[in-house]
Structure 1
Amino acid sequence: MDVVLKEITSSNYELVCDLDVTEDQQDYVACNMWSLVESHYNSGHTCKAIYCDNQAVGFFMWVQESSEKVSIWRFMIDHKHQNKGIGRIALNQALDAIKLTPGLCEIEICYNPKNPVAKDFYSSFGFQEVGMDEDDEDMLAIISL
């Protein structure tokens, strides 16, 4: 299984926009099309397509919040490709890329506390829950570097 993060370009953005999670996961993940629009009109956003064996299967977006902090805002694997280990490999690659940010001290991620797999999945990468976000809607978890 060859998993890689690729730039999103005019040749693959439609493939990324067509990816979707399961119906049960719809409340946990923003639409990829919205995320691409959001990244286009705001600075500091990095978007990557997740490919497995040369097929678009997922999406990442992270944001440089400050010189010391990067936040993962979006991470999804298409419902047809879940439970194959692709997400675990892709998150490792994304974290490796994010950690190349000069002066970085913290990586954060937020997730719905009702999401049945998020806490265990993210904690296995070293994310530690620090409490609810400022809107008191999502759990905030960080990796301190």
Structure 2
Amino acid sequence: MDITIEPVTAANWRACAALTVHPGQREFVNAVTYYLCLCNYGDTWQPLAAVRDGEVVGFCMWGIDDDRSRWIGGVVVDAARQRTGIGRAMIGALVERLAADPDCPNVALSYSPANEAARALYASLGFVETGELEDDEVVARWTRS
């Protein structure tokens, strides 16, 4: 699947903000507008748009932790485009980008233990649960082989 990961800009932020998830997923992710505020008003997260055929189809953000690990957060694939491989392609491209930095020891993310779809997706991409918790979420890390 041909997905590009691009910075959120003045030209595409509205398309990112318009992304929605299925009602049953709202307990696991926030609205993209919330994530955009975290990126804009905080000092940790960098926002990215997932683009396919010139159209924004997903959103995610990344940051660097004190231990230099790269964190992925705020992963959203538009409800109308789910189950088409976009999430897998988006996370794969982002891991590849983040891990290319030689100063990156691993790539981490967290998810609700009840979010079986996320758990299965991330495990299939090589993320391993570490036993750590971030708030009430399970932490999983991807490390170079």
Tell me the TM-score normalized by structure 2: 0.92
Amino acid paired to 1:139: V
- Equivalent positions of 1:53-92 (< 5 A) are 53-66=53-66, 68-92=68-92
Give the share of equivalent positions with the same residue, in percent.
26
Kindly state the Cα deviation for residue 96 of structure 1 after the two structures are TM-superposed.
0.9
Tell whether the 8 Å contact from 2:99 to 2:106 is kept in structure 1 after alignment.
no
Structure 2 residue runs without a partner (length 5+): none
Which shows bigger deviation, 124-133 or 79-88?
Answer: 124-133
Correspondence 1:98 to 2:95: no
Residue deviations 1:48-105 (CA, integer Å, cap 9, x gap):
1011111111001011113521111111100000011111111111011111234111
Change (3 A) 1:132 1:85: same
Give the number of equivalent residue pairs: 144
Tell whether the 8 Å contact from 1:67 to 1:104 is kept in structure 2 after alignment.
no
Change (3 A) 1:3 1:138: same
Which shows bigger deviation, 104-113 or 37-46?
Answer: 37-46
- Equivalent positions of 1:21-40 (< 5 A) are 21-40=21-40
Once residues 112 and 99 of structure 1 are traced to their aligned partners in structure 2, the CA distance between those partners, rounded to angstroms, is 24
Once residues 3 and 21 of structure 1 are traced to their aligned partners in structure 2, the CA distance between those partners, rounded to angstroms, is 19
Kindly state the Cα deviation for residue 43 of structure 1 after the two structures are TM-superposed.
2.3
Once residues 79 and 132 of structure 1 are traced to their aligned partners in structure 2, the CA distance between those partners, rounded to angstroms, is 30
Q: Which residue of 2 aligns with 1:48?
A: 48
Once residues 134 and 124 of structure 1 are traced to their aligned partners in structure 2, the CA distance between those partners, rounded to angstroms, is 21
Tell whether the 8 Å contact from 2:106 to 2:143 is kept in structure 1 after alignment.
yes
Q: Which residue of 1 aligns with 2:12?
A: 12
Aligned-partner SS, 1:105 = coil
Change (3 A) 1:25 1:55: same
Q: Which residue of 1 aligns with 2:137?
A: 138
Change (3 A) 1:134 1:89: closer
For the aligned residue pairs, the C-alpha RMSD in angstroms reads 1.5
Tell whether the 8 Å contact from 1:67 to 1:103 is kept in structure 2 after alignment.
no
Q: Which residue of 2 aligns with 1:113?
A: 113
Tell me the TM-score normalized by structure 1: 0.92
Change (3 A) 1:11 1:104: same
